Amino acid sequence: MEKIKTRSICSLVEDDYLSLFKIIERLVHCRTHADLMDLLKIDLLELLNASSCFFCFTDPVFTNVQILDAVNIPANTFPALEQLIQFDPLGPHIIENSRPVMAYDVDFPRHEAHSILKQFFQQHPEYKEAKKQYWCRFASSIGVLNLPDVTTGLGVHRLLPNNDPFTIREVRILELLRPSLMQTIRSIILSKALDQYQAFAHHLADIDLPVALISTDWLLIYCNDAFTKLSPTFNCKSLSPDLIKRLKQEVARLMHSRLEANFMEVAFYHIEKRTYRITLTQINTASQNEWYWLLRMERNVDGYAKMICILQKATLTSREIEVCVLIRNGFDTQTIADRLCISYNTVRSHLRKIHISLQVKSRSQLIAYLNQLNEA
């Protein structure tokens, strides 16, 4: 894909930040599917000046995409949308560049999106009605993935007659909202699964991914065989004290990130010489009076997670890690400042600290080091 070389103007004004805090606060209290849809339709689309959006489950290679729901996108066009997501290179580029939010008009020229659409519908004439009903009005889009846990995604569209290009403003808003928004989407979807607990548990028992259901007082409600095999200290009655301590730290971080979106932070847990990425998702029972944590533990195998793990061990802050990701993507200092809504001198200050922490002497050495981490 041809990247846009000119710098887009970014400006988050005070009203934008006030709207962000309002949405994040609403997400904290978002408990039902209806709550989520109402928030997306009334708050998110208005803030982004967008026409429609959808959220989905996917795998890291986009071979199995499931649209969970959408705002202002007809349900009978979902099959075409699921196929189109697999066809569109925007998702793979998000993973490749380790940036959770990317957009046409900002990261890639809009004409590429329209070229992809044209090619897709030429190859899939069975979706002629979907094109007529929805895609003929498509103007531009933003893609969001819940890196590094590529299971949940969000797409935002502008439809004609709204032909305004997306800017870094909308990208930055979604970067800041992403942690709380993705946590809420996963929480609500998994809460439905909890209501069908037997089928849910049966499915979890057969997968290789270590999974456990934990009460708010840190008692094991359920765990699968893969979880018990992680360590001799794990069993289906209790968690080890050091894991409980780590999970409490992660819960504190999650609650804090509702207001300060440190979205480059990833939680890790070390067992002997193995490193696992831990993911906690809050899920509610049908009564809404009690809730649990769903814990997943994945081996730290993908390049992005390994890079974040090593940078965290080097005591880099989440903002410094974010600067590293943008440096690795080839952005200059001023463009990084624009994308992060900070000053040029603040970026330079971050870079000086990064060079000291990673013991590199130049930008080229830093890029080479980050590429090495991502490919390890």
Q: How far apart are CA 286 and CA 190, in angstroms?
A: 11
CA dihedral 303→307→309→311, nearest 10 degrees, is 180
Q: Where in the chain is the domain with CATH 1.10.10.10?
A: 305-375
Cα–Cα distance, 354 to 320 (Å, whole number): 7
Residues 6+ apart with CB under 8 A from 353: 316, 320
- Cα–Cα distance, 376 to 371 (Å, whole number): 9
- DSSP letter (8 states) at residue 314: T
Parts of the chain belonging to CATH 3.30.450.80: 14-187
Pairing of strands 274-284, 268-271: antiparallel
Q: What is the pLDDT of residue 363?
A: 94
Query: What dotted CATH number matches 305-375?
Result: 1.10.10.10
d(CA 295, CA 149): 13
CA-to-CA dists, residue 58 to 149, 235, 338, angstroms: 10, 31, 31
CATH 3.30.450.20 boundaries in the chain = 196-301
Per-10-residue mean pLDDT, the chain, length 376: 56 89 89 93 97 93 91 97 95 92 96 96 96 97 90 95 96 93 86 58 66 86 82 69 88 65 69 84 67 83 80 91 93 93 94 96 94 78
E strand or H helix at 214: strand 211-214
CATH class of 14-187: alpha beta
pLDDT at 267: 84
Which bin fits 288, alpha (ψ -120 to 50), beta or left (φ > 0)? left
Helix axes 303-313 and 318-328, enclosed angle (nearest 10): 130
> What would the CATH number be for the domain defined by 196-301?
3.30.450.20
